[in-house]
C-alpha cells in the first residue's frame, strides 16, 4: 500500500486534480472577467516561471542524488542551486502553474484552488518532509532553515 501512496499521493497528482477542476469550471461555469493580452502575458509568465522553478529544483535534486518523491527518505540536504532561494521551489512552481492556468483559462472562480493547493502541499508534504530532514540532518537542516525561506 505504501508503494501505491508513493505514486498516487504526490504533488503532481494534486496539481493535476486542481488543474482539471479549474479547466472544468472555465468550461462549465464561465465567469466574465477581465482578459486580454495583459492577463494572457501574466498567465504565461506564471506557468513558465513555475515550470522553470520545478525543472531547476528537480535537476538539482538529481545532481545531489536524492529523491524527488516526497514520501521517501532524503539522501542529501540540497542547499545549492535554486534551493539557496527557496526550500520548496517545486511546490512554489506548482502554485504558480495553477495560478497561471486559472488566468489563462479565465477560471476566475477556481482561483481559490491556489490557496487550497498551498494548504495541501504544506500539510501533506512540506511539514512531513521538514520533519524527516530535521531528523536526518539535524543542525545542518536547522541552519539551512535559518538562512533560507520556506517559500519565497
| pLDDT per residue as tens digits for the range 20-58 | 999 999 999 988 877 789 999 999 999 999 999 999 999
Across all residues in the chain, what is the average pLDDT?
94
What is the structure's pLDDT at 6?
64
Report pTM: 0.93
Of the candidates 138, 147, 137, the residue with the CA atom closest to the CA atom of residue 77: 137
Chain-centre distance of CA 34, in angstroms?
Answer: 26
- Find the mean pLDDT for residues 4-14: 83
Q: CB neighbours (10 Å) of residue 9?
A: 13
Amino acid at each position: 500500500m505504501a508503494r501505491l501512496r508513493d505514486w498516487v499521493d504526490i504533488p503532481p497528482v494534486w496539481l493535476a486534480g486542481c488543474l482539471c477542476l479549474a479547466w472544468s469550471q472555465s468550461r462549465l461555469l464561465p465567469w466574465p472577467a477581465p482578459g486580454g493580452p495583459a492577463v494572457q502575458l501574466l498567465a504565461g509568465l506564471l506557468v513558465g516561471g513555475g515550470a522553470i522553478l520545478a525543472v531547476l529544483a528537480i535537476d538539482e535534486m538529481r545532481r545531489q542524488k536524492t529523491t524527488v518523491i516526497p514520501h521517501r527518505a532524503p539522501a542529501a540536504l540540497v542547499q545549492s542551486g535554486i534551493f539557496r532561494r527557496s526550500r520548496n521551489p517545486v511546490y512554489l512552481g506548482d502554485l504558480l502553474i495553477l495560478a497561471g492556468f486559472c488566468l489563462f483559462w479565465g477560471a476566475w472562480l477556481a482561483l481559490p484552488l491556489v490557496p487550497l493547493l498551498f494548504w495541501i502541499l504544506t500539510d501533506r508534504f512540506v511539514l512531513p518532509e521538514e520533519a524527516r530532514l530535521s531528523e536526518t540532518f539535524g543542525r545542518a537542516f536547522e541552519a539551512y532553515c535559518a538562512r533560507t525561506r520556506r517559500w519565497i
